[in-house]
Amino acid sequence: MNKVRRQIVKIDEEKCNGCGKCVSPCAEGAIEIVNGKAKVIKEELCDGAGFCIGICPTGALSLETREAVPFSEEAVKKAQAEKKEVHIEIQKCFNCNNTEMNAPLIPCRKEGESLWVCTRCLPVLIHG
Ligand code: SF4
């Protein structure tokens, strides 16, 4: 497949501790833990949106622009259909424990920690 110059997630293996927190924010299923380290398993599954970045506690994730296989919605659908068991860890708002099933969650940083905050709590945290 022809490569194109585009934005894609970069994983610093030296910094990655294999905690797996970046797996579920990736709706496309591009990241898996392989031998204790996060990996983009197929370039065509990573859309380069970067929803995984804010949740990484060690700063191992970033975006880079390089030659890569183009993102493919078709490849995402195929990969999701092939997965026999999809393990999704339900995330919670650090402030009220609301789950992502009740309100959209947004990754944020607080006192050196990567956390999720729900859209109900966010205005209060911004405006007090
Ligand atoms: S969240 Fe960060 S440290 Fe944890 S597995 Fe993903 S890249 Fe590694």
- Give the per-residue pLDDT at 41: 94
Task: Look at residues 92, 79, 99, 85 and name the one whose alpha carbon lies nearest to residue 21.
Answer: 92
Residue whose tokens read 């990969």:
79
- Give the per-residue pLDDT at 71: 96
Q: Is the pTM of this model over 0.75?
A: no
64 CA distance to ligand 1 centroid (A)?
A: 17
For ligand 1, whether the C-beta of 117 sits within 6 Å is: no
- pLDDT < 70: residue spans in the chain: 84-89
- Give the per-residue pLDDT at 51: 83
pLDDT digits (tens, 9 = 90+) for 75-92: 999 988 887 555 566 789
- Give the per-residue pLDDT at 108: 83
- Give the per-residue pLDDT at 101: 87
State how far the Cα of 67 lies from the Cα of 55, in Å rounded to an integer.
25
Ligand 1: which of 13, 14, 15, 17 to mutate, most ligand atoms within 8 Å of CB?
A: 17
- Give the per-residue pLDDT at 84: 58
**Distance between first and last Cα of the chain:** 51
Ligand 1: which of 10, 15, 21 to mutate, most ligand atoms within 8 Å of CB?
A: 21
- Give the per-residue pLDDT at 55: 87
Question: 106 near 117, Cβ under 8 Å?
Answer: yes
Give the Cβ contact number of residue 88 at 10 Å.
Answer: 9
- Give the per-residue pLDDT at 87: 58
